[in-house]
A and B are shown apart, each in its own frame.
Chain A
Amino acid sequence: MRAILLKIVEAKATAVQARYHRRRRLKIKAENSRVTLLSASETAGVGFRVLQKGIWGFSSTSNTDVDELKKTFEEANQAALSGNGLRQGFPLVVSPVKGVLQVKETRPVTNIPLEEKVDLVRRSEEQIKNLSPKVVSSVAFYEEIVDEKIIVTSGGTNVSYRDVKTDFRVLAYAAEGSRLESGQASVSATGGWGELFRHNPAEMMPELAVKSAVEKLQAEPAPAGLYQVVLHPSLVGILAHEAIGHTVEADFVLAGSIASQNLNQKVASERITLVDDPWPHLDPAATGTLLVDDEGNSPMAAVIINQGYLKGYLHDMETAGIFQVANTGNARAFSYQDEPLIRMRNTYIQPGNDAPEEIIASTALGLYLKGLGQSGQADANAEFMFGVDEAWWIRKGRIGRRVVGVTISGQAFQVLSSVDRVGSDFLLDSGAGYCGKHQPAKVDAGGPHLRCRLKIGGEL
């Protein structure tokens, strides 16, 4: 395969990328004492991307015969040529990679028997039901993705890459009278089961989900208004990823996102340093860990905000050329059928100096917010809205009663400007699931606890 791809990328064009991608995927779900989903898949194919005079052509095939590969390349080439004259060329910034790359796997998933994986899901689901008589429904879900890629480019990349992403999630539904609430706990990682359960052992997770669901039954709706809040690292990550991260993706910047106006300006409290990192030394098993991007370039950490100043954007080889900066290697494609797009990896705020418990103790009145609820979205103007999974009152420096139905909103740069305390702790904790931007991507996000002011949507 490699030899054929190497031959093809020699074709006459501004740039050629060939990416073979084999994926093995496993999903297991148990609900109320039954395994209701046991599904495996194995897919493979090659995506060709050709740049001719500023226009990209892309074509993919699942048929890996030599003739079919040549035909597919030619389709990509012709597609690029058909846009001839519609755009000017641009310089490309490449950082080629050679060799064999492999993520760290402690207890590799390919060494764990299927029966053991099914048993994990079954046991966890069983455990949920037995933890409280108020639990009426329970779900446990496991997913693993094992990717093997060969990326060969005309820019000099020739690399094999094995990447493994794992997810585990439990959900509890509790009822009292006509009221129904849910609680969840989830983990995800790059690597094997050693990495997946590095923070929380699987046995702990049902308890967390049940506690959350049962306690929500007694909680009152959140009151609307502007509040001082202490954010758990899971929500700090959502803020960093959704509200800031998307606005600094260079493709969004070129389209006119708010970040296009603010480079080198003060956009946040000087306590804030925000980074998108392909391999965070504080947690290398984070879900968004990336050793080579899907354009075949070496990824590097991108400092987006440095001590409150907006310092840079996230780039692929094209936007790095347009902005005349280093390529941060953020081009990612979910499958062989997808073209690489600028996507985040692990996006976080760096820890500060305040002990998390001291941040809460020094808060007279506010809310403690943890975990993403149903969803979160942000706009080109960095205006965001996130559902919050768990919330509690803080009164006189103590965490008190739970509230439910909390959504938070605001303008991300204004919210980060209101930050007055940054914790000394650190956690990447975006949990299971995917980021969506035309195609899914595994990412992670987090940081320390921090305190800021933002708007709570709830009862009037």
Chain B
Amino acid sequence: MNGEKILEKILRHGASEAEVSKKTVCEKTVIFENNRLKSLKVNNSTSYRFRAVVNNQLGVFSTNSQEHLSEAWVQVVAIAKASDFDPDAVLPEPQPLTPISGLFEERAVTLSEVLRVARKLVEVFKNFDRRLSVDSARVEVVSSDYSIINSKGVKAEEKRGFSQYFIMGLATEDEAVSSFDYRMNTGVSWEKTIATVEENAISLASCLIQSLGARPAPIFTGEVLLSPETVSEFLEALEFLVNARNIQEKRSVFAGKIGQTIGSSCFTLEDQPHQPGQPWSTAFDSEGVPTRPLTIIKKGVLTTYLYDTYAARRDMTVSTGHADGHFHSPVIQPTASLKEMRESITRGIVVRRFSGNINPINGMVSGLVKGGWYIENGQLTYPITDTMLSGDFFNLLRNITAISQETEPTFVGPLPYLLIKGVNILGNKK
């Protein structure tokens, strides 16, 4: 059954507006666990989502089954009728889309190729040192087709694909056990993505071995060099703060702060969803609204919030194409090289991973440093463990002093290192 026919049925069943989206996904995955090949996996799935507006009441129904398609329009209208009247519950109007190139690779990667790369990833890592152990490793290839139509004329389709590998390991020596650490890479191109397998496996192995014998850092207030992985957690807190729905619901202290300074003058944050060949790029959001490059914070000044159609209508503005509330492909403008940043630190720490809380509501940041190093006069001095850091998120944003030119892959895209001053570091207080 095609989408238009379902749209018609939803409208005939009493809806004033209707939307149908369909996603087909094919995944091939190889999983290593506990140093051994665990399983090989093939998943194919198709799912449908329906939204109906009945007298400004919005309902959502989704299914993966052909069997339930025959009653989907009944379900979604019944759900909408049980919802509240909301003048802002409308579906988006159609807008021109800019297709993004390079989101899909025609070449079909076989499960055997995925297995070959997974074996290489694990073998290079394991062969580096006998003290290393693989907790889990995973290599996957995913392709998807997403299409969306609505009764107002929105019609969008995107074919996407990406390859990803991930390895998480630890090192043990006598009774000492290191923290977990991991490396990963994601890309549209299979060949380009897997080209870094060896380098990343060795980098992880080397980091884990060096982190053995870690000890607590001292107690002091100093500089912190945050890894790209940690920066992604800071961005998650920022995402909450600039989400228009949280502004409207008075859950974000950034309400009313457009045009005001909320961060350091060296901090510029953009969302760049139109970069060709990037797996995070997309031409439209999950409502079919076009995405666009957006500067969210410019030299420390807040310039916009993230809007979906609903929030935009409440603020009498237009959607920024952020129906899911997340940045698509965040980019932080660089200010210095990583080497310069590290050498500039008089006394501080490197944070590879942060196991903690960044509370975007009251701004409190507190947690454990993982895979960290103590730095004095620009030199990595010793690996640290049992060390916490704390601070106020809003102050930390103002205290960013440098952003690296170098980026590393993270689960939200390539991100740089950030250097922040004035952070409380709590090591050996017993």
Interface of A toward B, CB cutoff 8 Å: 30-32, 34-45, 49, 55-64, 75-76, 79-80, 82-83, 86-87, 114-115, 118, 122, 136-137, 139, 173, 175, 178-182, 216, 221, 224-226, 251-252, 254-258, 261, 337, 339, 373-375, 377, 379-381, 383, 385, 387, 404-407, 409, 411, 438, 455, 457-460
Contacts and interface: CB of A to CB of B under 8 A. Distances in A.
Contacts of A460: 219, 221, 390, 424, 426
Contacts of A49: 39
B83 A38 contact: yes
A216 B362 CA distance: 10
Contacts of B249: 31-32, 137, 139, 173
B362 A181 contact: yes
B191 interface: no
28 contacts: A38-B83, A40-B61, A40-B62, A42-B61, A42-B63, A43-B47, A60-B45, A64-B67, A79-B39, A80-B39, A114-B79, A137-B251, A173-B250, A216-B362, A255-B34, A255-B35, A374-B358, A380-B177, A380-B180, A383-B386, A385-B356, A385-B388, A405-B359, A405-B366, A405-B390, A457-B388, A458-B366, A459-B424
A41 B358 CA distance: 32
A252 B368 CA distance: 21
B100 interface: no
A434 to B, nearest CB: 17
A87 B118 CA distance: 14
Contacts of B82: 38, 114-115, 118
Contacts, number: 242
Interface stretch (B129-137, B289-297, B406-414): B129-137
Name the residue in A40, A438, A455 with the highest tally of chain B Cβ atoms < 10 Å from its Cβ: A40
B368 A255 contact: no
A385 B357 CA distance: 9
Contacts of A216: 362
B23 to A, nearest CB: 12
Given A79-B42, A118-B82, A178-B253, A63 B66 contact: yes
Contact of B115 (A42, A82, A180, A407): A82
Contacts of A80: 39-40
Given A79-B40, A180-B253, A383-B179, A62 B65 contact: yes
Given A55-B37, A76-B42, A256-B172, A118 B83 contact: yes
Contacts of A122: 84
Nearest to B60: A39
B40 A457 contact: no
B65 A373 contact: no
B45 A337 contact: yes
Q: Which of A44, A118, A406, A460 has the most CB of B within 10 A?
A: A460
B430 interface: yes
A44 B34 CA distance: 31
Interface residues of B, number: 78
A137 B250 contact: yes
Contacts of B63: 41-43
Given A41-B61, A122-B84, A252-B135, A83 B79 contact: no
A57 to B, nearest CB: 5
Given A43-B63, A87-B36, A405 B83 contact: no
A182 B40 CA distance: 44
B111 interface: yes
A61 B60 contact: no
Given A62-B46, A79-B41, A79-B42, A34 B84 contact: yes
Given A58-B40, A175-B250, A182-B361, 10 more contacts: A43-B63, A45-B64, A58-B39, A75-B42, A83-B40, A137-B249, A385-B355, A407-B357, A407-B366, A457-B366
B170 interface: yes
